């Protein structure tokens, strides 16, 4: 799409707002609709749009496949780490109330951390799947 000016300009204008909206959904998911899964998909959609408009190689230079590959285990480690932290503090796995001095604050912190882990993992998986399919198609 190198010679398509309108989609390139529109994408340059929209992608930062799509990413911003993904972060909004991530951090405000406990107060309204949304959360980690939705935020991860929205974030991945912005990267996929970037790759479709500007080229797969350009997207892979912006967010390297090695970095994307690290998002999945990091998100899982965060999720499991919160569960283990709750057990070390005397609760059961993912009993968020024990994370802070006040159970309500512990619930809030636990949900935010868990949703961050889910969002990170989902974004990593979605981008990895796209990179894999896009590379397979471009190799033909």
pLDDT tens track for 39-90: 999 999 999 999 999 999 999 999 999 999 999 999 999 999 999 999 999 9
For residue 134, how far is the Cα from the chain centroid?
Answer: 19
| Number of residues assigned to the chain | 140
Full residue range of the structural domain in which residue 49 is found: 5-138
pLDDT for res 92: 94
Give the pLDDT score at 19: 97
Handedness of CA 124, 128, 131, 133 (dihedral sign): negative
Alpha-carbon span 86 to 95, nearest angstrom:
6
Question: How much is the pLDDT for 140?
Answer: 67
Query: Considering the entire predicted model, what is its pTM?
Result: 0.89
Band (4; pLDDT cuts 50, 70, 90): confident
Query: Is residue 32 scored above 90 in pLDDT?
Result: no
- Residue-level pLDDT at 138: 77
User: What is the rounded CA–CA span in Å between residue 85 and residue 110?
Assistant: 10
Kindly compute the dihedral angle of the four CA atoms of residues 10, 59, 38, 8, in this order, to the nearest 10 degrees.
10
Domain count across the chain = 1
Q: Is the pLDDT of residue 22 over 70?
A: yes
Q: What is the pLDDT of residue 3?
A: 81
Q: How many CB atoms are closer than 10 A to CB 27?
A: 16
Side-chain half-sphere of 2: how many Cα atoms within 13 Å? 3
Asked whether the predicted pLDDT for residue 97 surpasses 80, the reply is: yes
The pLDDT, as a whole number, for residue 40 is 96
């Amino acid at each position: 799409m190198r010679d398509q000016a309108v989609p390139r300009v529109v994408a340059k204008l929209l992608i930062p707002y799509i990413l911003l909206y993904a972060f909004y959904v991530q951090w405000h998911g406990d107060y309204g609709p949304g959360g980690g899964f939705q935020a991860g998909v929205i974030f991945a959609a912005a990267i996929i749009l970037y790759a479709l408009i500007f080229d797969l190689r350009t997207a892979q230079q912006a967010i390297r496949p090695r970095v994307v590959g690290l998002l999945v285990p990091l998100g899982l480690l965060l999720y499991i780490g919160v569960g283990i932290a709750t057990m070390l503090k005397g609760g059961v796995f993912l009993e968020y109330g024990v994370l802070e001095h006040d159970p309500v604050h512990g619930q809030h912190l636990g949900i935010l951390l868990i949703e961050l882990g889910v969002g990170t993992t989902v974004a990593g998986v979605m981008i990895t799947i796209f990179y894999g399919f896009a590379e397979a198609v471009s190799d033909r």
